[in-house]
Every structure is written in C-alpha cells, then in structure tokens.
Structure 1
Amino acid sequence: MYSRRDERNRHGRDLTFSLLTPEDAFELLAFETAERAWFEQHIEARKEQFYSSHGVSQHIIDCLALNAQGRMSPLLIRHKGVLIGRANLRDIDGENASIGYRLAACACGQGIAQKALKHLMKEARCMYGLETLTAVVSVENQASRRVLEKAGFDAVDKLPDHARVADRRLDCLVYRCVLRQEVECA
C-alpha cells in the first residue's frame, strides 16, 4: 500500500524537464488552452493573441531567442510524457535570475512544484553559475508561497497592487534565495 509520501516520490521519478522546442507548439497550445481558467485564477492572464497557433509559435520563438542569448531557460514539465507544466529561469543577468512555474490543476498538491523549483535552482547554479534567484507571487497564493519558503526563499519586499488576477489588483511579495555553493552539480 502506498502512502502519500510514496505517491509523491513515485510522481517525482516519472517527471522530466526539457527545453521548449518549436515542435512543442501544438501540445503547448492545447495545454495552455485547457488550463487557462485554472491559471487565470492564480496568475496574470496571457494576452488573447497568445491562444492561437501563431501566438504560441511566436512565444516559443521569443523564448528560444532569449535562451540562445543566455537570458532565459524555458522548460516543459512532463509526467510520464504528458505535459503538466512549465518552469522558467527568466531575466538571467550574470549572477541573478527570476523564476516562474505553472502547473496543471491535476498536478498540484503532489510535490511537483517543489521538484520543479529544485530543478530550476540546480540549473541556475550549475548551468548558469547564478547566485541569487527571485520570484514574485501574490500574497493570496499560499501554495506557491509555501513552495518557495520550503526551498529556502525569503520574502524581501511587498509590491502593492502589482498583479491583475481575475479582474482584481493583488499585492505581491518578492521572494529571494541565495543559492548555496554546495549545490551538487553532478
């Protein structure tokens, strides 16, 4: 019999993280469209033009251009081959970057966000040599705040009325984490 912890570990073994590619456009559009209402309850909505073949293809081109410049790492998260989320390092500037992730509703509460964040932290330190990561999250998004805090992020600033979520202005917190030198890069 599996315990909740066993279930989380099992999901963790079946997770893969891969760089976004142009070939992912159809799958990404389907994922973003299917999860749109869920995402828009928690984070700022994407522009309407994103939700088209052209919009997603342009988004991928833009992300990969930033990746080629070493300024972004746009990743897809899959569970047993099925797209369940995204995780990104953004605004990479030598020593610092911002992080962000979004998970399908069915993937929440299983420890996947924590695994995605740990993956981003390791990539930030080992591939980019970064020292500090930041994240902005609404005060109301308790789940994401817990994920960040559990990974060693601290709230360092408050941004009043920073985000528009579901036609409401929300206060946000800026979280920061100094990456440890001892992060294993093997």
Structure 2
Amino acid sequence: MTFPISPLIRCAVQALYWGLVLPLPILLARQQATPLELGSLWIALLLGWGVVLGSLSQRIQLDEEGMQATYPSWVPPFVRQEWQIRWADIERIEPRSTSQGGMVYYLVSRGGDRVLLPMRVTRFKQLLAEIRRHAQLEIGGLRPYVQPWMYGLLGCFALLLLLWDGMVAIWVWASPVGT
C-alpha cells in the first residue's frame, strides 16, 4: 500500500516556490540581464523546482513487514529522506510539542530509534488504521499537525502572489526602459 504526499500540499508548495522566484528573471530581463545571465538564472530556477518536486515526491510504502519512505529513482540522494521501520520493532508513539504550539508524533522502536510519523500523506486516516492494525498501537485522536485548510489557504495566497507578480511584470514591461 502506498501513500504519496497530498496533491493539495504539492500544489501549494509549488505555487509558493514560483510566486517567490518568478519576479526575479522577469525584472532582470527587462532591466539589465544579458541573455547568458538570464538563461543561467532560468536553469537555476528550474533546478530549484526539481529539488522542490523531488522533496515532494516522497511515498510511504506499507507491507506486512513494516513501513518505509521512498522516492522515485530520479530524485538525487541529497534530497532523499528515506527511512524504514519494521512493525515488530515499533514500541510506542511519542508525542512532541513543536515551537509553534502544535504536536508531532514519532514512532519509537525498541532500540530507541525515532521515525517522524508522516502526516502530509493522502488518506492519512487509512495510514493510521494500518499502523494501528500492524503495530498494535492505540492511536486515538491523533490529527495531522497542519490541517488541509491551512495548505489550501497557503495555495490561495501563493496564487494571489503569482497574480500580483504577473501584474507587476506587465507594468514593468510596459514602462519605458530606464525608469
């Protein structure tokens, strides 16, 4: 059984990335950049987007032995945060408060290793049910740290930022050079 990162999260983060970096090449192209500099900047931005896409392509895979975090083969090793834990090794779930006042949860093995419970996946409740079934843990009332509406709000603000970037780009391109 595979649980990828939620499409809502993937789209919101990508929209935020482009909303933050897109104005740079647009403004530089109009004001001062040479074609070589501009081409290099676009390549860097596309490589950065590749890193974002790679980090958002994590999949949680469950089988009868345990669970593991995997990535597609195209994701470079420096982006991967792979791990695995066997059901038989899981001793408990340990809550930890965050600096923002939220709560995250770790699966703790008998050897003391900790694995952060993946909360950004699709079908999160089904993932919890599978953990409960395989590891024989009581997981009552556990909810994701960030609720879906928060990523929806982030996505909306990122789209507004992209819209604003587009309006500024039109204004910059319509202005005479040097003003």
TM range (shorter): under 0.3
TM-score, length-scaled by structure 2: 0.26
Name which structure has the greater RCO, CA cutoff 8 Å, separation 6+: 2
**Which structure has more strand as a fraction of its residues?**
1
**Which structure has more helix as a fraction of its residues?**
2
TM-score, length-scaled by structure 1: 0.26
